[in-house]
Amino acid sequence: MYNKKQHWIIIPALLLMLSFPGMAIATPSPVPGGVQYPWQDQLMLLLDDAVRGALPKVHELKVNEVRSLSTVAARIPAGGHNPSFSIKELGHWNRKQGKISVQIMISSPAGKSSSCWLSVFISGKCKVMVAKRSLERGSSVQWRDVTAQLLDARKVNDDCLVDFSRGAIFEAARKIVAGQPLKSASLRPYRLVKRGEMVIVVLQREGIRILTKGTAMANGSKNEVIMVKNPASRRLYQAQIIAAGQVRVVY
């Protein structure tokens, strides 16, 4: 049931909130505790440019938080209203934590220069190659089997593949699930020759070219040298893999 008394209570309350903007919900600050320093915007722009320059492959990069600004404030002498900042060094980017350490130089017209380290926490996305379909162990992996995606940088490991040549061909070293990022350990060079199979052996010397057959004694990829056995004499010799099922005798 409509209550006039409740109506007259709600309206003044809304007017009171509109009269005092400070009562509105504050937007999150990139600085813990929400402290705002006079020079903070200047430093934040410098840090943002430095981090973007150091991590050009991170897409949609955003600085979410900067820690230890109170240390910067302590280094600025009283009355130092116009301090200047410069980047001295950038540390290693910790992908999992989304953190990169930045050393800055602080200079004030009224005092000497000093330096300190800041922890800058960022978010963004990195390009990574993922499998279009599930791939069984031992199957070939080519350009048509993969696609590029932008994933949360914190979930992209250093061993993930960020590129894949159109002419490249690899072999799955283990089962790869569709949508899974490709890692260097998940792939190995595609084996053009497999142990125990018959291969075409090319003997070429001084303009003479002879083709015969032999048994591969090991798995191998292109340009690798493996042992091949002559099925008639059972003699072993070295041969370089030049194509699928084809080797050339090494003299």
> pTM above 0.85?
no
Q: Is residue 18 part of a domain?
A: no
Of 76, 101, 124, the one marking the end of a domain is 124
Distances (CA, A) of 13 to 1, 5, 7, 22: 21, 13, 10, 14
Q: Are residues 111 and 176 in the same domain?
A: no
Q: Kindly state the average pLDDT of the residues 57-70.
A: 94
Measure the CA–CA gap between 71 and 76, rounded to whole angstroms: 9
Q: With 50 as the cut, is the pLDDT of residue 73 above it?
A: yes
For the stretch 9-62, pLDDT in tens is: 443 443 334 343 433 333 344 555 566 888 999 999 999 999 999 999 999 999
Residues in CB range of 245: below 8 A, 6 or more apart: 192, 193, 197, 198, 199, 200
Q: With 90 as the cut, is the pLDDT of residue 230 above it?
A: yes
Q: With 80 as the cut, is the pLDDT of residue 136 above it?
A: yes
Q: Is residue 16 part of a domain?
A: no
The pLDDT of residue 191:
87
Q: Is residue 184 part of a domain?
A: yes
Q: Determine what percent of the chain is predicted with pLDDT higher than 90.
A: 65
Measure the CA–CA gap between 109 and 118, rounded to whole angstroms: 22
The pLDDT of residue 80:
61
Report residue 217's pLDDT band, with 50, 70 and 90 as the boundaries. very high
The pLDDT of residue 27:
38
CATH number of residue 172's parent domain: 3.90.1210.10
Q: Are residues 72 and 153 in the same domain?
A: no
Q: Are residues 93 and 135 in the same domain?
A: no
Q: Are residues 176 and 212 in the same domain?
A: no
Q: Is residue 75 part of a domain?
A: yes
Q: Tell me the average pLDDT of the chain.
A: 85
